[in-house]
Amino acid sequence: MKIVIAGAGKVGRTIATALTAEKHDITVIDSDPETIEEISGELDVICVEGNAADPETLREARTGEAELLIATTEKDEVNMVCGMASHHLGVEHVIARIRDPQYLHQTDFLREAMGLTSIVNPEYECAKEVSRILRFPGAARVDSFSKGSVEIAEYRVPAESVLNGLALKELAGRFRAKVLIGLVEREDTALIPNGNTVLWEGDRLSITGASGELRRFFAAIGAYRKPVRHAMVMGGGRTAVYLYRLLHDSNISVTVLERDRELCERLCDAMPDAEIVCGDATSSEILGEYGIESTDAFVALTGDDGDNIVTSLYAKECQVGKVVIKVNRDHFADILIGAGLESIVSPKEIVAEQITRYVRGLSDSAGSSMEMLYRLADGKIEALEFRADENLRCTNRPLKELKLKKNTLLTAIIRGSKSILPDGESRILPGDHAVVVAESGTVGTLDDILE
């Protein structure tokens, strides 16, 4: 597929890398000559230097021949104009990154008025991921399927856990919760397990189930943590504003620490029920004064990875029940996990997953029914949600009659509001949603789970 990416910042570059790996024909537009030079040296893409909102630049990039344009510059208004111009040049599918909270409730109008197919908002999606993690403080990461009907929670097995040394076939007998472990990460290996797989200390598990079943499971294994009632947030940018709104709806109180006085004044209007502290959150005195040792959760959301890391380590030292950290540089992840900071969020990676899912849907000639995609185990494994359409080979048959591909696992069937933990007698019916865990790039439609 021919795709034009306008804007090669952190998000645009991550998307270009992901889509190049999937063998698409990519053209990148950026106004910075140094960025263009870096991209051309790193990726097998066509690079065009220029203003993405200028029709002449778009023509030079042969945008009119593209099937998809993704506008990801740093300015919302440039992305809107770029998207609108590309639509008029004949691009059928246009995605624009629009980040400002004031546009959050105008997305339908913007899509219609500017010919945008979809709008992505990295900060809002990041805030949603943080809010999911805070609802399951015992998990390192939580991904949601079918509007929250089923979730995948990531959990590391500690030495004292009842899971240490347990074979998966013993799981149902030991614990009453209806969950399924779809992935085991052990050192550098990502394993899609079977009943004979034995869990060991240090394993990172991806556990699938309905929200209530996951809570029951965490309680049963002794990993339950008290619900978050108060969160301290470091940094008052867009992500913090979105997170406040989500947490406020869940009756979680928020204290925001932000060093920029003008921004603090704006936050008082944007977060009327939050405690806004104008101060340096890297200062232990400030953190202590405003209750770091008594807060339930600490969330580091500044644009400075170093500040986020150092302050999160201090929060962990202060025995904060849950610490969530936003980072932009991928190579920090292993260091942070080794230091016990496992709940890591990356806005650019979240958007790359969204775009990859969308592109795969466009690429499949049969009409892919993919609804959701998450990358696990550093991208080696994917968790995907599909809608079961008519005439699929895998529908209306007991699962015991189906031969699944190697390293592919059906972890949940969602029928209406009901979540089904599949067994050999289960059937996927038309209209169901199915959650699948598989090696990256091996499953594009639901029938791809079959040999």
- For residue 330, with 0-12 CB atoms within 10 Å meaning exposed, 13-18 middle and 19 or more buried, which class applies? middle
Q: Which residue spans within 230-303 are E strands per DSSP?
A: 230-234, 253-258, 275-278, 297-300
> Out of 3.30.70.1450, 3.40.1410.10, 3.40.640.10, 3.40.50.300, which CATH number does the structure's domain 349-449 have?
3.30.70.1450
Q: Is the separation of the CB atoms in 422 and 413 below 8 Å?
A: yes
Q: Is the separation of the CB atoms in 437 and 360 below 8 Å?
A: no
Q: pLDDT digit string (tens) for 163-210?
A: 999 999 999 889 988 999 999 999 889 999 999 999 999 999 999 999
Q: Which of 29, 27, 21 is nearest to 3 (CA)?
A: 27
Which residue ranges make up each domain of the chain? 2-120, 230-345, 349-449
Q: Is the pLDDT of residue 367 over 60?
A: no
For the ranges 100-104, 183-187, 238-242, 343-347, the lowest mean pLDDT is seen at 100-104
Residue pointed to by tokens 């610490």:
323
Fold that domain 2-120 belongs to in CATH: Rossmann fold (3.40.50)
Q: pLDDT digit string (tens) for 7-16?
A: 999 999 999 9
Q: Is the separation of the CB atoms in 430 and 390 below 8 Å?
A: yes
Task: Please state which CATH class domain 230-345 belongs to.
Answer: alpha beta
Q: Is the separation of the CB atoms in 267 and 256 below 8 Å?
A: yes
pTM of the predicted structure, to 2 decimals: 0.88
Q: Which residue spans within 219-274 are E strands per DSSP?
A: 230-234, 253-258
Q: Which residue spans within 318-451 are E strands per DSSP?
A: 322-326, 343-345, 370-376, 381-387, 408-415, 418-420, 433-439
User: Structure tokens of 275?
Assistant: 């405690």
What is the DSSP secondary structure assignment for residue 405, as one 8-state letter? P
Q: Do domains 230-345 and 349-449 have the same CATH topology?
A: no
